[in-house]
């Protein structure tokens, strides 16, 4: 570099390089900061809910029915039972059609129906849950003439369906085809192969997918607002007892249970959060803690499980 022209060029190039390096460093740090920023609410929410909910979580919270508003004590036993009922109903309604549709989508992915199933599953996952609630209101509540756990259970089932179909489909595709072919070659019919060979081989993944779906459903409120509605007196024991006293058979009692309006934890949380009574707000925090702990525990468990299986499969 002897002449001046090329040395200024060199200096300018160096300066440009420094600027580029600085821009690089700044932008890289910024992307890291956005990640940190997005995670602040996660820890804020978890921390605050644990702090508040932990103070108001009592044994009575889990075992007693609500007391009148404005009085101390009582619990949300009705909502806990209702959540269990709704989640069981949702699982029962979602699992069989979900599995069958996933079998179809996994083995015939490129037929028109296979494409339609996969596409509508994806789109269904994006339908607002409150719209599903309206649908079930028109489909079940209007027809029956009253709000019921049945309607709420079906609404949650529709919300679970995409999760179940998608995870099942993925898991079925991971099962080595040789396994299926060996079974078919031995003369086992397709359905036996699917249910007794392929399904158990994919079993663990299916269970995690199912659990994730249940976790999502158990935290939903919007579709229950005008299907399950809420019921402060919902109690399995008293329903069964009064059913037995009036000489109903077990099936009739079961029908009576699912025909009741029921409460659920998120529904209770939403109602209590809007009431002016401090006791109710305290219970809302406790409900939030129980709900969040359940949902997060299932999520973490499911992901650890998938990770563990993936590691083991890789060997």
Partner 1 sequence: MKAQTVPPNTMQRLRRNIGKALHHGDRIWQWLTIGAGIGVALLLLGIGWMLWRDSADARSAFGLGFLAPTADASWNPVLDKFEAWPFIYGTLITSAVALLLAIPISVGIGIFLAELCPSWLRLPLGWMLELLAAIPSVVFGLWGIFVFLPEVVEPLGTFLAGTLGLLPGIGALFAGPIPASGASRLAAALILTIMIVPTISAVTRDVFLAIPRSQREAAYALGATEWETISQVLVPYGLSGVLGAVILGLGRALGETMAVTMVIGNSIGGAVSLLRPGYTMSSIIANEFAEAVSRLHSQALIEIGFLLFIVTLLVNMAARFLVWRVARRTPQEGRA
Q: Nearer Cβ to partner 1, position 132 or 175? A: 132
CB of 178 to partner 1, least distance (A): 20
CB of 61 to partner 1, least distance (A): 16
Query: How many CA atoms lie less than 13 Å away from 32 in the CB half-sphere?
Result: 6
Q: Nearer Cβ to partner 1, position 38 or 251? A: 38
CB of 42 to partner 1, least distance (A): 4
Q: Nearer Cβ to partner 1, position 3 or 35? A: 35
CB of 66 to partner 1, least distance (A): 17
CB of 3 to partner 1, least distance (A): 25
Q: Nearer Cβ to partner 1, position 20 or 241? A: 20
Q: Nearer Cβ to partner 1, position 225 or 243? A: 225
């Amino acid at each position: 570099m002897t002449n001046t022209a090329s040395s200024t060029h060199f200096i300018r190039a160096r300066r440009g390089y420094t600027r580029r390096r600085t821009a690089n460093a700044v932008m890289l740090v910024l992307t890291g900061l956005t990640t940190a920023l997005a995670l602040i609410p996660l820890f804020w929410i978890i921390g605050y809910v644990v702090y508040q909910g932990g103070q108001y979580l009592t044994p009575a919270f889990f075992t007693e029915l609500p007391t009148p508003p404005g009085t101390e004590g009582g619990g949300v036993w009705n909502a806990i039972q209702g959540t269990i009922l709704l989640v069981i109903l949702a699982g029962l309604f979602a699992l069989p059609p979900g599995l069958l549709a996933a079998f179809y989508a996994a083995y015939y992915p490129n037929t028109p129906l296979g494409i339609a199933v996969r596409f509508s599953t994806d789109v269904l996952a994006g339908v607002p849950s409150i719209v599903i609630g309206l649908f079930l209101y028109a489909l079940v509540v209007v027809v029956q003439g009253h709000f019921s756990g049945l309607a709420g259970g079906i609404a949650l089932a529709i919300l679970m369906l995409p999760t179940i179909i998608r995870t099942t489909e993925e898991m079925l595709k991971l099962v080595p085809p040789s396994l299926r072919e060996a079974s078919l070659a031995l003369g086992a019919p397709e359905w036996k192969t699917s249910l007794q060979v392929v399904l158990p081989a994919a079993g663990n993944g299916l269970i995690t997918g199912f659990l994730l779906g249940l976790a999502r459903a158990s935290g939903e409120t919007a579709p229950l607002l005008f299907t399950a509605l809420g019921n402060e007196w919902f109690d399995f024991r008293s329903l069964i007892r009064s059913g037995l006293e009036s000489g109903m058979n077990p099936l009739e009692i079961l029908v009576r249970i699912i025909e009741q309006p029921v409460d659920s934890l998120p529904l209770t949380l939403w109602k209590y959060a809007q009431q002016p009574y401090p006791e109710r707000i305290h219970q809302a925090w406790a409900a939030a803690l129980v709900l969040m702990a359940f949902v997060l525990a299932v999520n973490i468990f499911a992901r650890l499980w998938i990770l563990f299986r993936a590691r083991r499969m890789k060997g």
